[in-house]
Every structure is written in structure tokens, then in C-alpha cells.
């Protein structure tokens, strides 16, 4: 069961996973309709990549564009650093965010080959505290359908998803564990981590 969840997580993380932070506008309170519209577009773009038949390198490039456009990358990147985000400079955080963006694109974009012949369908949306959860179902050849939820917020001033939850496994928290282990292996050297993330994945 654990291996299946890990495999599914790695595959569906290619769907995702967060846009430059600006001051929120209280008059633009996020609605269920807007949250669903965002994920409808995410899913439409991903399904188009799955069906494109292009080389893997092209799929990875497309995934990075999708991730950059619809996900709140600064929020996700900062959260994966945990408490270490508070000890680094603003310049280092910017560099880390850019390196993290490319790392995610390569790491999860490679899974698109396993989506061939599959599809994703958005099912429903519900408000949870200060964000909205948009639930979707993933259909892959040779696999039982499984659920992926996108967590959507407008905290950055734009409607973006800040996490994906694949059968109970959080993309953001999983990457925090992975990044934490990578940083430990580098004795806490954030510069070394940034350099390695530029080619990792």
C-alpha cells in the first residue's frame, strides 16, 4: 500500500504542486466558483500536455509554465525550508525559490510519460477555513481511480493553489521532508543546496 501511494504521489505530483506575493485585496474574497475555475484551467492545461505526444523535454517545459502560472511558488518554496527560511537573506530566498521551481518541474514533469492515455476530472469544491479545496479524480491506465485535492487561496493577491493532497499525502509537506534531508546532508549550507537544486530532479 505504501509503495502504491508513493508511486501515485510521484506521478500525480506532476499535475501540480505555488506566483509572486502581492498585497491581498479584501474586496476580492475567494469564492467556490473562482477556486473551481482555477483548477478547471490547471486540469485542462495538464490534460493537453498529457495528450500532446511531444518529447519528455517539452512536457517538462510545459509543466514548469503550468506550475509557475497557477501555483503559489513563493509560498510553497518557503514552506519547504521550514524554520530555515527565517535565517537566510532575502536574496538567498529568491535564489532558492527559482531553483526550487526548476527542481519541481524536472522532478515531477518526468512523470508525465506515465499519464499517457489517462485523464483528470474536477469533481467538487468546498470552503475550508481561509481557503478552498477542489477535489479531482485521476484516471490512469492500469490503475484504480484515485483522488487529488488542490488547496486554493488568494492570500498572495491572486487565485493560486498552494498545495496538492494525493490520497492524504501533502505535496508541500512531503517536499519539506525531502528538502530538509538534502539540507542536512549539506550541513545546513543553503548556498550548496541552491546550487544542487539547479540540476537535481
- The residue assigned the cell 495538464 is 46
Is residue 190 one of the residues assigned to a domain? Answer: yes
Query: With 70 as the cut, is the pLDDT of residue 5 above it?
Result: no
What CATH number is given to the structural domain containing 81?
3.10.450.710
Q: Which domain holds residue 146?
A: 2-18+28-195
User: Tens digits of per-residue pLDDT, 78-132?
Assistant: 999 999 999 999 999 999 999 999 999 888 888 777 777 788 999 999 999 889 9
Query: With 60 as the cut, is the pLDDT of residue 158 above it?
Result: yes
Query: With 50 as the cut, is the pLDDT of residue 2 above it?
Result: no
CA pair distance 97, 176, nearest whole angstrom: 13
Is residue 200 one of the residues assigned to a domain? Answer: no
Dihedral sign for Cα 50, 54, 55, 58, please: negative
Query: With 70 as the cut, is the pLDDT of residue 11 above it?
Result: no
pLDDT averaged over every residue in the chain: 85
CA pair distance 143, 104, nearest whole angstrom: 24
Is residue 74 one of the residues assigned to a domain? Answer: yes
Q: Residue 80: CB partners within 8 Å, gap ≥ 6? A: 100, 172, 175, 176, 178, 179
Query: With 50 as the cut, is the pLDDT of residue 26 above it?
Result: no
Is residue 67 one of the residues assigned to a domain? Answer: yes
Is residue 201 one of the residues assigned to a domain? Answer: no
SS3 call for 143: coil
Over residues 151-167, the mean pLDDT reads 93
Query: With 60 as the cut, is the pLDDT of residue 17 above it?
Result: no
What confidence score (pLDDT) does residue 140 get?
86
Helix 190-197 to helix 90-109 angle, to the nearest 10 degrees? 30
Is residue 97 one of the residues assigned to a domain? Answer: yes
What confidence score (pLDDT) does residue 153 get?
96
Is residue 101 one of the residues assigned to a domain? Answer: yes
200 φ, ψ (degrees, to nearest 5): -75, 165
Domain total for the chain? 1
Query: With 70 as the cut, is the pLDDT of residue 16 above it?
Result: no
Is residue 23 one of the residues assigned to a domain? Answer: no
Percent of the chain with pLDDT over 90: 57
Torsion angle, alpha carbons of 162, 165, 47, 2, to 10: 140
pTM of the predicted protein model: 0.80
What confidence score (pLDDT) does residue 18 get?
34
- The residue assigned the cell 501515485 is 8
Q: Which residues pair with 128 in a beta bridge?
A: 131
Amino acid at each position: 500500500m505504501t509503495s502504491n501511494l508513493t508511486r501515485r504521489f510521484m506521478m500525480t505530483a506532476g499535475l501540480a504542486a505555488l506566483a509572486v506575493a502581492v498585497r491581498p485585496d479584501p474586496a476580492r474574497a475567494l469564492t467556490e466558483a473562482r477556486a473551481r475555475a482555477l483548477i478547471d484551467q490547471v486540469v485542462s492545461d495538464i490534460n493537453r500536455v498529457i495528450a500532446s505526444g511531444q518529447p519528455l523535454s517539452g512536457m517538462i517545459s510545459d509543466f514548469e509554465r503550468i506550475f509557475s502560472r497557477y501555483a503559489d511558488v513563493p509560498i510553497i518554496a518557503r514552506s519547504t525550508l521550514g524554520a530555515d527560511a527565517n535565517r537566510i537573506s532575502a536574496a538567498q530566498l529568491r535564489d532558492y525559490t527559482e531553483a526550487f521551481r526548476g527542481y519541481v518541474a524536472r522532478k515531477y514533469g518526468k512523470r508525465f510519460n506515465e499519464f499517457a492515455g489517462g485523464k483528470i476530472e474536477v469533481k467538487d469544491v468546498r470552503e475550508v477555513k481561509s481557503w478552498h479545496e477542489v477535489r479531482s479524480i485521476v484516471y490512469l491506465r492500469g490503475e484504480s481511480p484515485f483522488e487529488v485535492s488542490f488547496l486554493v487561496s488568494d492570500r498572495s493577491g491572486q487565485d493560486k493553489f498552494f498545495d496538492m493532497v494525493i490520497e492524504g499525502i501533502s505535496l508541500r509537506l512531503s517536499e519539506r521532508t525531502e528538502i530538509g534531508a538534502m539540507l542536512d546532508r549539506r550541513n545546513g549550507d543553503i548556498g550548496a543546496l541552491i546550487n544542487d537544486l539547479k540540476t537535481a530532479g
